[in-house]
Structure 1
Amino acid sequence: ALKDSVHLQKVLKQVADSLETIRNIALENGLTPLPTASNFLTIDCGKDGAFASALMNALIHQGIFVRMPGVAPLNRCIRITAGLPGELEILAETLPKALEEVRKTF
């Protein structure tokens, strides 16, 4: 697949478009996306590791695949991997609800 330059460029564009969508979803929800050179976007949740962990768990509970760095100060962030348009629509619907739920306890 790496030797197929047409396919490679198509996949790279899909990943870039996906990351841009995730970036916009984060910004729309008051979160801070960090620059990336990978297939995932790190998002600063703006609070401590406990808040980020609670948000991660709320998203996972809703079927969103999310990870979190375990070492401070990055533990205040979550990581969301590039996805398909339908998956990103689910993220756009789920993230505000998860944030609302988590913000009630923080």
Structure 2
Amino acid sequence: MGYATHVVGSEELTNVIESSPKVERIISGLFWSPSAFSTLVAAAWYFTVVAHTAEAAYVAYHCRTTLKTTHATALKWFFLTCCTGFPVTMKATELFGVASKSKR
């Protein structure tokens, strides 16, 4: 999605899809038109970036507050979560749960 959005661009992605009638038929059947598909790809990319950044901020915050990690460690968790998203967030949430239970 990032490659299609930032390198290829929406207009060129639309042109590539339209250059192959078979692909254009499939895309048009699922997404109304190649242009709409290109727009949805870009929107999905930006949504993913925002969602992963929000998850990463959540994880970094809890690393600092719940796990009492250093800034460097919280930053490492932030970058890891930005890259992978949900799988790392779930593992971090498990760690936060264990840390919370051990404080009781």
The two structures have a TM-score, normalised by structure 2, of 0.40
| Greater strand content | 1
Larger radius of gyration: 2
The two structures have a TM-score, normalised by structure 1, of 0.40
